[in-house]
Amino acid sequence: MLPELLHLASLPAALLDGWNFRPGDFRFADPLWLLALPLVLVIHLLRGRRRLPVLLVPFAAAWHRPSLTTASRWPVLLATLGLTLVIVALARPQRIEDKREVRTEGYDIMLAIDLSGSMLAEDYERGNERINRLQAIKPVIQAFINNRPTDRIGIVVFAGKAYTLAPLTFDHAWLARQTERLDIGLIEDGTAIGDGLGVALTRLEQSRHDQGGRRQGAFVVLLTDGSNNRGSLQPTQAAAIAQSRGIPVYTIGAGRDGFVPFPVKDQQTGRVLGYRRVLSDLDEGALREIAATTGGQYFRADDSNTVAAAFRAIDSAKKIEFQAKSHLLTTELFHWPAAPGLAAMLFAALLVRPPWRREVPA
């Protein structure tokens, strides 16, 4: 019996999901509440039995007392009607007013972010506090996510290997939450710039093509601090693929030249024990070559004009029109059955126990 009831309970939701609503249509947002309506009929039919659980309906106990008031059918009918209307209100009736198609123009941008161990080098300062390279480039990442609302943005992270953290999406709030999780050590160490760039190019496959088969309005922003030392794809090979697809790569180099302070941490607690001086391995020549080969530009992360210059370069390209999105505008109607339903139940209670009539002690 239970499987049949569960199947019956799923029918309203299944039917609702299958409807193609048009302006002027009517629907219930929470249709499973309607399954409670048969219980109202059962209570009404069994109200004369003394063993009926009287807590199911307010004032049901008073219906069993023989008096001139309760002898009338009005309290029962009003209570039943009120309960029915309240259940209908809980099912949230709605009217669909309109269906809008929203089209927007923008760009497809994949951010390829380096999470290699060398990003722990603390050769930047914010205020009077020393920060590492990942902390230094996070404002650049946040600027792309927060200041370009009409663009689809995705994220690829790489170290010894490359992974997709987020595909292209308009949900920038979700992207911002993902970037908060970025940390060094999430991926095995190394710097696979070529693989990171290759994965980012793969994620741009869904971008539109022009008549020559090249992508339109698609870009990669590569943020790294090192030279390629891992991976199966060389940066020059990945740059050639990007060039053939017409995808500019904007490279942003993080880190300063020469010897930089690198934290020495306790392996168990993660507490910084001190610093040692290491030679920065930023390969600016390779990053400039990637940008030049693909038609992009190279920037330094410590340049205050980096974000603005990158935005200007991207915005000079032709935008693409993204696929339309449909939005149903609905009007809530639950208050129409709720108000008379509650009024009917209140009036039934007053008929059962009028406040103006005093009880005569036996």
Radius of gyration, alpha carbons of the chain: 33
| 87 or 2, which is more confident | 87
In angstroms, rounded to a whole number, what is the distance separating the alpha carbons of residues 25 and 17?
14
Residues 310 and 107: their CA atoms lie apart, in Å, by 13
- Please answer whether residues 191 and 234 qualify as being in contact, where contact means their C-beta atoms are separated by less than 8 angstroms: no
Q: What is the mean pLDDT of the chain?
A: 79
Q: How far is CA 347 from the centre of its chain?
A: 46
Q: Which two tokens stand for residue 162?
A: 């490359």
Query: Per-residue pLDDT for 114 more than 60?
Result: yes
Amino acid at 63: W
Dump the DSSP string for 49-98: STTS-GGGSTTTGGGGS--TTTTSSHHHHHHHHHHHHHHHHHT-EEEEEE
3-state DSSP of 194-238: HHHHHHHHHHHHHCCECCCCCECCEEEEEEECCCCCCCCCCHHHH
Residue environment code for 28-64, b if the CB has 16+ CB neighbours within 10 A, otherwise e: beebebeeeeeebeebbeebeeeebebeebbbbebbe
Q: Which domains does the chain have, with CATH numbers?
A: 2-100+328-352 (no CATH), 105-321 (3.40.50.410)
pLDDT in tens, 282-305: 888 899 999 999 999 999 888 778
**Low-confidence winner among 8-12, 28-32, 273-277 (lowest mean pLDDT):** 8-12
Pairwise CA distance, residues 91 & 85, whole Å: 10
CB 182 within 8 A of CB 138: yes
**Is the pLDDT at 5 greater than 50, yes or no?**
no
> What tens digit of pLDDT does each residue of 122-135 get?
888 887 888 888 98
pLDDT-based confidence at residue 23 (cuts at 50, 70, 90): very low
Please, which pLDDT band fits residue 324 given cuts at 50, 70 and 90?
A: low
Beta-carbon contacts of residue 121 (< 8 Å; ≥ 6 apart): 132, 133, 225, 255, 260, 261, 262, 278, 280
Q: Which residue has the higher pLDDT, 141 or 327?
A: 141
Residue % of the chain over a pLDDT of 70: 77
pLDDT tens-digit map of 143-164: 999 999 889 999 999 999 999 9
Q: Which residues of 72-88 are buried (b: 16+ CB within 10 A; e: fewer)?
A: eeebbebbbbbbbbbbb
Alpha carbon separation from 338 to 76, 161, 164, 209, 350 (Å, rounded): 18, 58, 49, 54, 18
